[in-house]
Structure formats: C-alpha cells, structure tokens
Amino acid sequence: MNDLDMDFLLGAEDDDGRSGRRSRGSAKNGGRGRRRRRRRNRGGFMAPLLALIVLVGVIGGGGYYGYLWLSDALVPDDFPGPGKGEVLIEIHPGDSAAALAQTLEEKGVVASARGFSNAIAAAGKSASLQPGTYTLRKEMSAAQAVAMFDPKSRMLTKVPVPEGLRLTELVTLLAKTTGKPVKEFTAAAKDAKALGLPPYARKRLEGYAFPATYEFGPKMTPADMLAKMVERFNSAAEQADLEGAAKRLGHTPHEIVTIASIIQAESGTFDDMPKVARVIYNRLDRDPQMKLEMDSTVMYALNKFGIAATNADLETTSKYNTYRYLGLPPGPISNPGDHAIEAALNPAKGSWMYFVTTDPKNKVTKFATTEAEFLKLKAEFEQNRN
C-alpha cells in the first residue's frame, strides 16, 4: 500500500489543520499541500487588494483636485492689502448690503461683490449700514472695506431745516452750513426742471423745499441739495394724497400749499393749525367773499418779519397784500411742513372768522366768530404787546 492509500485509510488532515492519526510521511506531504494552498490563497487575495488600493488612489486624487476646484469656487476673489487712492461711496436710504457690494465691485474697491457680502455678513453688519458718504480706497480687502463703513467716518453735513422758512432764509442757512456760495443756491433755485418741481408749483421753489433734517455729502452741489428737498416734498405730497385731497376741497394743489404756508406762518402751535385753516376757508368760502387780511402775507411782500403789519405796510400794492386783494396770494409765503399741509387738507370744524395771537410770548392764539369778539381779542393783544 502506498503512502496515498495509507493517507486515505488513516484520514487526511482537513483544511483547518485538524487530523486524526497521521504518519510522519503523511504529515510531510500534507505540509507541502497546505503551503501550496496558502500560496494560492495569498495570490487570490492580493489582486483585489491591489485593485482597491488603486481605486482609492484614483478617488483620493480626484477628491483632492475636486477639493481644490470646490475651494476655488466657494472662496471669492479678494484683494490682499489696504488699497490705494480714494473712492467716495454714497449709501442711500434703503440701500441693501448686496447693492452696496455690487457698487464696490464696479468701482474697483473690492475684488468681488460676493467677497464683500461674505465679509459684512461675518462681521454682523449687513443690517446696520448707515446712509451717508464714505471714503474708501481701490483694491481693498473685503474685510478692510467693511471696517470703513463706520458711521463715525461718514463725510456728511447735517442740516436741520426748520418748518416755515422763506426761501431767502433757507438759502442763507444752506450756504452757512455747507460752505457753498449763496449765489449758487440762488441760481439753482431758479432751475425748476433740474429741481424736479411738480407741474403745479408754477416753476417756483418757494413752498416746495420741504423742511426736514438733511445730510449732504461733500460732492453735492447746491442744485443737488435743493433737488433733494423737492424730492422730499414730492414724497410727502404723495403720502398725503395732495392732488386728490385738493380736488375734493375744490382747490388746486398749489393753492393748498399756499394755504399751508399761511397756516405755518400764522400758527403759534400745531394745535392751532386746523383752526387757522378753518378761518382761511371760512373767509374764502363766504358769500360775498371776505379778504383774508393776513399780516404774514404783507410781511412776505415787503421782505420783512413780524406778526403785525403797520398801516404803512398795508399800503403796498403787492399781490401778496391780502388786506387789499380778495382771495389767496399768488403763491406760498414759506416752506410749510407736514402739520401745516395736513391742517390745510383737514381743517377743523367751526364758524370762526377771526383769530388773534393775544400772547405772542407764550404763543397763545384765540379765535372769534364776530367782529365784536375780534376787537376784544385785538385789545388783549395790544395790552400784552406793551
């Protein structure tokens, strides 16, 4: 019997190495068989392993370059330094951070609008931009550009314009606060088309330079400033539905602004305004019509200031002399504010035909229906005046 037959009879070692009885010869032969099988198994395992390694390498390499591409796509262009030169950037009321970012890119301040948008969002300042004019530089880093929009660095001149100023007073105020020549404001005030005056203004700025607090940038011209005030008037007129409300009252918008200017000049307080408006309408609507007899219109005609015209003042032949002529004067005598316009459109209810500022120092105004009551109020005014 040969070795092979003996192995069969004794029981060859199974694959996991366990066996029953075996001879030395069978052990030797079995060892060689196992080594051969192990070599075959090792070769069969290595091929998939190598393939896996190659695949991981390909994926890894592609992932690396993909990462580089994605990083380049996600990280916007940016300038590295503080920039150079000077660029004036104006933020208008209502401008968004996105709109500002686009402007900065177009003017060469930042490398990309997206870079600035990311930087201002990271700084938490997207919703805190303040209108005004700012000095920046070309080719700034986005982060440094964001830092330049500090409200303290705005190059603005703040000009509070009180209600009821005449145009001559307004021009003087603007020239003094902005450093621009009076003659430039005077010339600009005559260019109705450039100012954007409404058609019913009759090409005159008086009455349509709206009183408010303005901020003017360093490059704004007198024409720009006056146009901004007219723009503010147009906005207020639209909000008050000036044209529609005037039509319902039987007047033109220009007449309403004229009435508002008289209300502004004659009223001591906001509370008086609707009552003063009622006196004006009662006189205009009376049949036969009464003269308005407003001292403020006479003072305007003579370029004087005061609350009581003299007998000599009343001799003027100016169409603004409402003691001489029936109806409204040709146009506004001042630049009225919101309250006066509102009063002109919504007069109080009442039968008053007169009013007298009986105590000018304390801004006390009293109203009367009859001439007898009026004379008593006038005497009270004379007493307080002395």
Predicted confidence (pLDDT) per residue in 100-131, tens digit: 999 999 999 999 999 999 999 999 998 888 88
CA separation for the pair 350, 327 (Å, rounded): 20
SS3 61: helix
**Which of the four pLDDT bands, split at 50, 70 and 90, describes residue 46?**
low
Query: In the predicted model, what is the mean pLDDT of residues 26-40?
Result: 45
CA separation for the pair 194, 231 (Å, rounded): 11
CA separation for the pair 333, 307 (Å, rounded): 14
Cis bond before residue 288 (omega within 30° of 0): yes
**Which of the four pLDDT bands, split at 50, 70 and 90, describes residue 361?**
very high
Mean pLDDT of the chain: 85
SS3 244: helix
The pLDDT assigned to 110 comes to 96
CA separation for the pair 5, 1 (Å, rounded): 6
Residue type, 29: N
CA separation for the pair 214, 200 (Å, rounded): 25
246, 187 Cβ separation under 8 angstroms: no
Q: The domain 84-153: what is its CATH number?
A: 3.30.1490.480
SS3 53: helix
| DSSP assigned state of 138 | E
CA separation for the pair 31, 45 (Å, rounded): 21
CA-nearest of 164, 161, 367 to 265 is 164
CA-to-CA dists, residue 294 to 150, 213, 288, 291, angstroms: 50, 29, 18, 9
pLDDT tens digit sequence for 175-226: 999 999 999 999 999 999 999 999 999 999 999 999 999 988 878 999 999 9
Task: Give the side-chain half-sphere CA count within 13 A for 377.
Answer: 19
CA-to-CA dists, residue 245 to 1, 330, 345, 347, angstroms: 129, 20, 7, 12
DSSP string of 74-97, one letter each residue: HS-----S--EEEEEEEEPTT--H
CA separation for the pair 44, 51 (Å, rounded): 12
**Which of the four pLDDT bands, split at 50, 70 and 90, describes residue 12?**
very low
DSSP strands (E only) in 248-385: 354-359, 364-368
DSSP string of 93-134, one letter each residue: TT--HHHHHHHHHHTTSSS-HHHHHHHHHHTT-TT----EEE
